[in-house]
Structure 1
Amino acid sequence: MALPRYVAIESKFKNYLRYMHKDGEQHGFLQFSGEEIVSPFAKFEIERAKTTTAGNDNGFVHIRCCYNNKYWVARSSSDSIIIAGADEPNEDQSQWSCTLFEPIPVSGEGGNSSSSTNATVRFRHVQLGRYLTGACLFAQSSSTDSDRLDVFGIINWGLLMILPKHIALKGDNGLYLSASGGYLEFTSSDKGDPKVGNEVFITKDGSIRIKNNHFGKFWRHSSADWICPDSDDTTTDDLNTLFSPVKVGDNVIALRNLGSNNFCMRKDSYLKAGVDTISNEARLVVEELVVSREIYNVKFHLMDARIYNRNIITMVTKTATNDTQESNTATLKFSRKETKSSTWNGSVSFKLGVKTEIQTGIPFIVEGKVEVSAEFTGGYQWGETKSEENQVETEYTITVPPMSKVTVSLLATQGSCDVPFSYTQHNTLMNGEQVTHDFDDGVYTGVNSFNFDYDIKTKEL
């Protein structure tokens, strides 16, 4: 069964499955308590398994929580509660820690009747042979639930485009969309023009409302298909004031109005919901109206850290030869190049190349666990990988037996870690306004070497 790569999962009662991140007894649980789809705790990734059972048309999958990048797995050998707790996938069906699940399509009304639902499924834990159900997800029974509480709606999270809060839009004529006489018109060449600014409001289902800063009113689709910034409606009841952004390129989108189901386009110089395909005139360049950005108060959630891709590597090899009849002592000098890399990114928020200053710690793997062992302050491009390279010299003293050659290899384990983090973001807008928000969607990825050890081999001459 083909499922989208990134999904949200909805219950029969139209609550979203979310990761329970707060410390406490339910930390790591998966609970149908989410009210908003645009949340780092409600986003999951479906990975196709390498193996499946012969004759099974549905196939098996691994499901990973995008908040901590850990896989769904049973809590223990004696507990069928499903948590997002496995660092790596496991396809061994004889082990309780197996992370295989079978998505089984369900026809008819199921977990959700929303038009945004991509599929309706049951999930069966392959190793236990039980279907997932419950307010907190657990593998309950090998039989399906008569009340269909084990039926879930799958929503394609990848179709959601999370726009920045303060934006300007540029049309295919190279001019910014500007407030003009009750309409929106592509006429301004100045990003700093106060008439081009808009504020984005995300609704619970991921659609958006857009308020024009100049008029202080929301965009609305009119009966003649023009988009007018004239709505005072503060609810999400009117589809004519709701829009769905579709990603076309890195900073290029198309905007579908939900009232007309048409894409907004440049018609002459005005904005109109007038085309059902993403034509050149319907492609809009998004620019953040942010002059500078600071990120600080970075808090790493080490309880949710994940270590993976562990590989033992040989960093340096040295030899010592003793061609005498007496034992000798040799001191070998090892010079190794240590490389570390760090990346700070967000699983939900969308940042468009704004000049950013970040103040943060740097987590690395130390003796098999993640510790915050350094700090970084300076300019940073969100999502950029920072690498650091150091030359390290050590000495190792060995006793070489008579008529022997000793080979000493310096070994290390190289691994990657993912650590979720929360942070404060302070923006200076184009109009000079200072805006501060807290976010929970940070994901740090680090790569480094650890567990250094010496491997010694002796060979007679």
Structure 2
Amino acid sequence: MELHQLRLLIGIVITAMMQKMTSGALPKSIALNVGSKEIYQQASCFYRRYDAYVVSGYDERDPDHTPEPAHSPASKIIVEQSTVNDKYVHLRFYINNKYWHKNTRDNRIVASLNQPIEDTTDPSCTLFEPAFPSQNEVYFTHVQTGWRVIAKAEGHRRYTLYVEENSSGTNLVFVDRETLVILPEHPIAFIHGKYLKAYDVNGKRLQFGSDKATDKESLHSASMKSNGMVIISSHYFDYFWWVNTKDSNWVYGGDYTTQGSSVVQIFKPVKIDEYAIALLNPSVNKYCVRSTDNCLAATSDTITSEAIIFVDELVTERQILNLNYALRDQRIYGETPFIAGTTTLTNSAPVDLIMPVEITYIDEKSYTFSRGGGRLNAGVKHTISTTPWFISIGKVIIPGAIIINEEFEWDKADTAANEVTAVGTVSVPKNSTVTVSYVGTKGICSIPFTYTKADKSAIDGKTSFENSVRGGMYEGVSYYNFRFQVDNN
């Protein structure tokens, strides 16, 4: 109980911080489209990379791709702050590590570079300057040309980004991927002291009154909408949730009556931590809370402790298998000098000597597996089977000697350390003492991957498989390019 209370307190603080955010800066990751500023009305066509171009929607040349939703890994854009001017940013697609820039052959925006370029005289410069005409809207200026970014319609429901001289630009709507919540595809249960169940008293409402997650009365399913909102269904009522604006904003699970707007059926989940969310209903702009008779009602203007709901994904075990690394989209970054160790050598002879040297140090490698953000851990035990990759001599990505087949957590770094002795020879001047350092580079390699997900159900014990799941991102930290460096004392 104390842990739950701590999470509630942390959640309230985090939410308060998020509510104070202004539109003066972009979040760390976003999804972009051309559509309504109202979050529940945003179009499904979020920007992604297709044939290196930055496009939304689809056309006859792209028959196998449906429009990307806001929560898709393909539409996630990482916003990186420039190191030369804090007004500028780099934009990088998460799923393939490609940076945006102007095409060198025409004025289209493409995403094809593995590294950022901050030289504003370089035609492939990746810097953009964002500006915010209103809340949730942004337009970009391409720094190298000074031209605005515009969206042009091409083909059927397809928009491509260009830069155009003397244009006022296109206002793009952005979704904050840092606060986007992707609810599990499996049946889920909601907890606030007790599990939320179907409650057929004075209308088919929902009550926190069950002690068992797997009872049919406690089972619910969430369907993600393209704009990051959700529609939630009660298994027992066999109907979606909706807010009855004619009855004190109680959340019902059945007996739907037309209220003039389908927005009563839509909820925006707000992430509190890896286990908990709050639910906002846009039709009344209120958060759902545990209210009278322990029933769910959309009545709060802010996220209080009564609005924080824990999510239980009804999966007892999840295996992550068959990782397929997209090495063509690898990225190396964060390179910094590293000194593994030092020693001293003394040459008392009257001539220069080639002398042997040994330096023993701890070689650490760490690795992290992520899945695009927004997904709750929801208490599910994960195991992974794979071989991690690391940077080696000459910036070549190679598989490591480590074989992983163990329990893990998404976004948590694991470290392997070995004692290594570097052996070599160096030239030491006559009649001198020198300091010898073993100097290398510490760097990070980032590699996208797809995987197979095998889930064991808590309801019937059966295992289901989902192949080629997108959104995996591997990061490996290692030391490489070592050499002995001699400094005269």
Q: Say whether 1:335 aligns with 2:363.
A: no
Q: Say whether 1:194 aligns with 2:216.
A: yes
**SS in structure 2 of the partner of residue 16 of structure 1:** coil
Q: Deviations over 1:119-166 (max 9, x none)?
A: 1x4322111222223467555322217xx6x44223333342222223
- What residue is the counterpart of 2:136 in the other structure? 118
Say whether the 8 Å CA contact 1:344–1:383 is kept in structure 2.
yes
1:212 deviates by 2.0
1:325 deviates by 3.0
Matched AA of 1:19 = R
Percent same amino acid among aligned pairs? 30
Between the aligned partners of 1:48 and 1:321, the Cα distance in structure 2 is: 48
Q: Say whether 1:435 aligns with 2:426.
A: no
Selected match of 1:240 from 251, 264, 267: 264
Between the aligned partners of 1:60 and 1:331, the Cα distance in structure 2 is: 50
1:309 deviates by 1.1
Q: Say whether 1:91 aligns with 2:83.
A: no
- The within-5 A match list for 1:15-94 is 15-20=45-50, 26=51, 28-33=52-57, 34-52=67-85, 59-75=87-103, 80-87=107-114, 89-94=116-121
Q: Deviations over 1:272-301 (max 9, x none)?
A: 223333333222122221111111111111
- What residue is the counterpart of 2:149 in the other structure? 132
**SS in structure 2 of the partner of residue 347 of structure 1:** coil
Between the aligned partners of 2:428 and 2:272, the Cα distance in structure 1 is: 66
Say whether the 8 Å CA contact 2:443–2:478 is kept in structure 1.
yes
**SS in structure 2 of the partner of residue 303 of structure 1:** helix
**SS in structure 2 of the partner of residue 195 of structure 1:** helix
Between the aligned partners of 2:188 and 2:253, the Cα distance in structure 1 is: 15
Q: Say whether 1:422 aligns with 2:442.
A: no
Change (3 A) 1:80 1:362: farther
- What residue is the counterpart of 1:216 in the other structure? 238
Q: Say whether 1:318 aligns with 2:343.
A: yes
Matched AA of 1:300 = Y
**SS in structure 1 of the partner of residue 350 of structure 2:** coil
Q: Deviations over 1:316-371 (max 9, x none)?
A: 22333222235544222221210010111111433223111111220111221323
Q: Say whether 1:453 aligns with 2:480.
A: no
Between the aligned partners of 1:280 and 1:319, the Cα distance in structure 2 is: 61
Matched AA of 2:377 = K
Say whether the 8 Å CA contact 1:128–1:139 is kept in structure 2.
no
- What residue is the counterpart of 1:351 in the other structure? 377
1:79 deviates by 5.8
Selected match of 1:178 from 194, 197, 211: 197
Say which structure is richer in helix. Answer: 2
**SS in structure 2 of the partner of residue 221 of structure 1:** strand
Q: Which runs of 5+ in 2 are unaligned?
A: 1-22, 37-42, 58-66
Matched AA of 1:118 = N
Which has the larger displacement, 251-260 or 44-53? 44-53
Which has the larger displacement, 399-408 or 410-419? 399-408
- What residue is the counterpart of 1:362 in the other structure? 388
Selected match of 1:397 from 422, 425, 430: 425
Change (3 A) 1:451 1:48: closer
Between the aligned partners of 2:346 and 2:160, the Cα distance in structure 1 is: 62
Say whether the 8 Å CA contact 1:68–1:443 is kept in structure 2.
no
Between the aligned partners of 2:230 and 2:445, the Cα distance in structure 1 is: 34
1:307 deviates by 0.9
Q: TM-score, normalised by structure 2?
A: 0.79
Matched AA of 2:188 = I
Q: Say whether 1:271 aligns with 2:296.
A: yes
Between the aligned partners of 2:276 and 2:426, the Cα distance in structure 1 is: 62
Matched AA of 1:65 = F
**SS in structure 1 of the partner of residue 125 of structure 2:** coil
Q: Say whether 1:373 aligns with 2:397.
A: no
Aligned residues: 429
Matched AA of 1:132 = V
Matched AA of 2:376 = F
Say whether the 8 Å CA contact 1:130–1:139 is kept in structure 2.
no
Selected match of 1:102 from 129, 135, 139: 129
Between the aligned partners of 2:436 and 2:164, the Cα distance in structure 1 is: 55
Cα RMSD of the aligned pairs, angstroms, is: 2.9
1:89 deviates by 4.4
Between the aligned partners of 2:465 and 2:418, the Cα distance in structure 1 is: 37
Selected match of 2:278 from 244, 249, 254: 254
Between the aligned partners of 2:303 and 2:344, the Cα distance in structure 1 is: 66
1:401 deviates by 4.8
1:220 deviates by 2.6
- The within-5 A match list for 1:141-156 is 141-144=164-167, 150-156=170-176
Change (3 A) 1:199 1:433: farther
**SS in structure 2 of the partner of residue 451 of structure 1:** strand
